[in-house]
Structure 1
Amino acid sequence: MTDRTQIVVLAKRPRPGRVKTRLTPPYTPEEAAALAACALDDTLDAVAATPAAARLLALDEVAGPDLTAGRPFELIGQRGDGLDERLAWAFQDAYARRRAPVVLVGMDSPQLTPALLAEATVALDDHDAVFGPATDGGFWLLGLRRPDPARLLGVPMSTPGTGAAQLRRLRGLSVAMLPRLTDVDDEASAREVAGQAPHTRFAAALSRLGAGAAR
């Protein structure tokens, strides 16, 4: 296990109508935002429990209530328009703060564990990059020993081919692969993730909401 790597969580403030919109329906915008808040909390817990050189929360809106709840995170704002730009500049901004490798995750994988994160950080000891593919064709984690915006800018995001396109951008680098995980995108994937991680805040919140299909 290494503490030489920075871990960045890229997230949106969980505001109704702004997050997890593919969960509505069957859930209301307020319920979808509550699920997003729990997923973010689970992610921050996992990152906080992982040895790291630094932990950063990159938010789309910096102003507002503290979302870290006393956990050891530096707060930075997101830059750019599309997701490719926000990812690229989050890497760059973290690396500008300290010249250390960067691992980045989103808030869509509440089943994330410190063990998986530690595997990613250790991989950067002897690889240029580490990549966690998602079942929807995207990716749930990307780590770079020396971040370069050109590795991300222009990659088409939120498509079934996003992961493959991102991997092509990593050609020429040594890449460590992590297990494939499911991101929370819709009701079906939310229930799949909750079943995989039943002790998370996310799973508890989903259970409280009951079966959306029965509404």
Structure 2
Amino acid sequence: MKTNALLIFTRNPEIGKVKTRLAETIGDQNALTVYNDLLNHTKNVTEHADCDKFVFYDSHVSKNDLWPESIYQKKLQIEGDLGQRMQTAFDSLFEMGYERCIIVGSDLFDLTKSIIENAFKQLNTYDVAIGPAEDGGYYLLGLKKKNDTVFLNKKWGTDSVYEATIKDLEHFKIAILPTLNDIDTFEDLERSGYNCKNIKINTNAEISSKEV
């Protein structure tokens, strides 16, 4: 019987296409380095989690990358806004027979294996598990059945997403997880404890070639 599935949403790590808000301050090369570090952290905290694991790429499925195919099943996100992409990913795994599905991004140095496992545990009792992010979004969403409402009519990437989602879930039993800091800006990166001392701040909006 299929029970727990973890969905990891990720961008293909290509220079100029990841962490663009962060790159405005530290340059594209540094932003790519930080993103690769985030991907490695996400892999390290998920690879031993007790669940089936799926990586959803944004542009193409990569072979022989940091996500070993012996551990992670690889899929491609559909076209559309973030809500449409998440909804379709959830639906596909529920259709495969999974009973509890949790999605996380790849933007958090604060994410831990215990947070993910606790979220699955909460879904034994609650209808939904959600992890709020400091910027007003969320870093984790866990469902036990299809719920299209939570993916509709959201201003993705803004500080209204978490509150709007909670409003949609007012008739459900919700487990709220610890609030974490996801990495979108240089200020987020500094708060994360990441070693920023060798990062060259890009005051003139020029691309820096100095690596982290």
Q: Tell me which residue corresponds to 1:20.
A: 19
Runs of 4+ in 1 over 6 A off after TM superposition: none
Q: Tell me which residue corresponds to 1:130.
A: 129
Structure 1, 11-20 or 22-31: larger mean CA deviation: 22-31
- Specify the SS of the correspondent of 1:141: strand
Q: Partner amino acid for 1:210? A: I
Return the offset for 1:136: 0.6
Q: Tell me which residue corresponds to 1:57.
A: 55
Instruction: For structure 1, list consecutive stretches of 5 or more residues without a partner in the other structure.
Output: 196-202
Cα separation, 1, equivalents of 2:61 and 2:49: 26
Determine if the alignment matches structure 1 residue 29 to structure 2 residue 42: no
Return the offset for 1:62: 2.6
- Specify the SS of the correspondent of 2:26: coil
Return the offset for 1:114: 0.6
Return the offset for 1:9: 0.5
Structure 1, 23-32 or 180-189: larger mean CA deviation: 23-32
Residue pair 2:132, 2:178 contacting (<8 A) in 1 also: yes
Q: Tell me which residue corresponds to 2:9.
A: 10
Cα separation, 1, equivalents of 2:191 and 2:162: 20
Return the offset for 1:88: 1.1
CA-to-partner distance for each residue in 1:34-76, whole Å, 9 max, x for gaps? 2112101211221112111x10001112343433442611101
Structure 1, 3-12 or 162-171: larger mean CA deviation: 3-12
How do 1:35-50 and structure 2 match up within 5 A? Answer: 35-50=34-49
Q: Tell me which residue corresponds to 1:198.
A: none
Cα separation, 2, equivalents of 1:9 and 1:153: 20
Residue pair 2:61, 2:76 contacting (<8 A) in 1 also: no
Q: Partner amino acid for 2:59? A: E
Q: Tell me which residue corresponds to 1:199.
A: none
The structure having more radius of gyration, on CA atoms, is 2
Q: 1:212 aligns with which of 198, 201, 205?
A: 201
Cα separation, 2, equivalents of 1:66 and 1:166: 36
Cα separation, 1, equivalents of 2:26 and 2:113: 30
Q: CA RMSD in A?
A: 2.0
Residue pair 2:9, 2:103 contacting (<8 A) in 1 also: yes
- Specify the SS of the correspondent of 1:212: coil
Cα separation, 1, equivalents of 2:180 and 2:65: 25
Q: Tell me which residue corresponds to 1:189.
A: 188
TM-score w.r.t. the length of structure 1 is 0.86
- Specify the SS of the correspondent of 1:184: coil
- Specify the SS of the correspondent of 1:24: helix
The percentage of counterpart residues that share the same residue type is: 22
Q: Tell me which residue corresponds to 1:101.
A: 100
Q: Partner amino acid for 1:212? A: I
CA separation of 1:80/1:170 partners in 2, compared to 1, >3 Å: closer, same or farther? farther
CA separation of 1:17/1:210 partners in 2, compared to 1, >3 Å: closer, same or farther? closer
Residue pair 1:40, 1:110 contacting (<8 A) in 2 also: no
Count of residue pairs brought into register by the alignment? 202
Q: Partner amino acid for 2:162? A: G
